[in-house]
Amino acid sequence: MNLSVLCEKVLAGDRLGADEALVLLEKADVTTLAYLADDVRRRKHPEGIVSYIIDRNLNPTNVCVTDCGFCSFYATPKDKEKGYVLEREVIYQKIQETVDVGGVQILMQGGHHPRMGVEWFEDLLRDIAERWPDLHMHAMSPPEIEHLSKVSKISTVEVLQRLQKAGMRSMPGGGAEILTEGVRQKIAPRKTDTDTWLRIMEEAHALGMRTTATMMFGHVETLADRIEHLDRLRQVQDRTGGFTAFIGWTFQPLANPLGEQLLATGWQKKTYAEYFRTTAVARIFLDNFDNLQASFVTQGAEAATMALRAGCNDFGSAMLEENVVSSAGCFELVAVDDIERCIRSVGFEPRQRNQAYDLLPTAKISAAAH
């Protein structure tokens, strides 16, 4: 397959097939990929704005029965020292801190606790909605929805309906990792399978709930697995239009069994170049996704800034708290002033947004957020 022909096809705005995207990922140099992805980004977002959001990643519990090999965050139900369930007042304090500095969203997700069913989260969401009616709850993820359905012995659709009624307004794309069964059986055999993850996303979309889509790459998967993952997402988006954005990041190997196993074989953590290549191909291939988010939480602010010229139109979150990837030794808090400085440094205008990617009026942000 001729690379020049594929490049011309991308620049003409034509849709690539999965086999063509794989050729780009395998053979095109990173500069070419970034140029093509930036052209796609420019066509979708000609106004020259890069957005960001102020929120907090709230994890009500880290107790989990899934035992994913790549996770450094969770505690087993028997681990009384590390495991926790946050008291309600602690949750409220964290939310109020977020609101006080201009936060517009709480991203709430956590472990698969064996005794916390849908009722626990319904009650929490109702309380939050009553106290902060304008706060957007971007909550749970497909694996959590499936887990709640098992604990509460109801369908995943009913879980979604009940949580939506209680105040859950959108759903993050956590738990996707790589959406191919061969990979999932190696890194998370007890977690939601590919078809179920995608089905729950479609169920949420059918209820009018928007969601994001994610990919954690750079561990045991092949390049073909990455493209298959993107293709499965694009097929759902063709049917539902329910995804607001795609976010990809590289696997963080510290303090987890998978990382220890890979490092013992001489495996090396993926470079920024690998992140840029895959991000650029995602921007080119996911032609029905409006937004691509950079991942400064895992890649760092410098790489995230460069990704704005490799297809990304969103810098992510000025996150007040993050506990999952930071457990793997990778987390970088970036103040709002620094986020805006990064965005301007590559020629864009920074603007705060909400979960729907609607740009907000000029933000009145507390000095604490800076």
Domain extents in the chain: 18-369
Q: What is the pLDDT of residue 35?
A: 98
Q: What is the pLDDT of residue 321?
A: 52
Q: What top-level class would CATH report for the domain 18-369?
A: alpha beta
Query: Cα dist. 45→39, 41, 48, 308 in Å?
Result: 10, 6, 6, 12
Question: How many whole angstroms separate alpha carbon 244 and alpha carbon 151?
Answer: 29
Q: What is the pLDDT of residue 146?
A: 97
Give the three-state DSSP class for 205.
helix
Task: Report how many helices (DSSP H) and strands (DSSP E) the chain contains, helices first.
Answer: 15, 10
170-171 and 105-108 strand pairing = unpaired
User: What size, in residues, is the chain?
Assistant: 370
Residues 6+ apart with CB under 8 A from 108: 58, 59, 60, 137, 138, 139, 140
Q: Any idea which residue has 């990064």 for tokens?
A: 342
pTM over the 0.85 mark: yes
Q: What is the pLDDT of residue 299?
A: 83
Q: What is the pLDDT of residue 273?
A: 93
pLDDT averaged per 10 residues, the chain (length 370): 94 98 97 98 97 91 82 78 90 91 90 92 97 96 96 98 98 96 92 96 98 96 98 98 97 84 91 95 98 88 94 87 42 74 96 94 52
The 10s digit of each residue's pLDDT in 221-241 is 999 999 999 999 999 999 999
Give the three-state DSSP class for 341.
helix
What six digits make up the tokens of 12? 């003409």
- Whether the CB-CB separation of 157 and 199 falls below 8 Å is answered with no
Is the backbone of residue 76 left (phi > 0), alpha (psi -120 to 50) or beta? beta
- Whether the CB-CB separation of 162 and 118 falls below 8 Å is answered with yes
Question: How many whole angstroms separate alpha carbon 139 and alpha carbon 71?
Answer: 19
Give the three-state DSSP class for 30.
helix
Per-residue exposure over 234-259, b if at least 16 CB sit within 10 Å of its own CB, e if not: bebbeebebbbbbbbbbbbbeebebb
- Whether the CB-CB separation of 67 and 147 falls below 8 Å is answered with no
Query: Cα dist. 306→101, 153, 320, 330 in Å?
Result: 27, 46, 23, 18
The side-by-side arrangement of strands in the sheet containing 349-352 is 55-58, 105-108, 136-139, 170-171, 210-217, 243-250, 291-293, 314-317, 49-53, 349-352
Question: Strand ranges (DSSP E) for the chain?
Answer: 49-53, 55-58, 105-108, 136-139, 170-171, 210-217, 243-250, 291-293, 314-317, 349-352
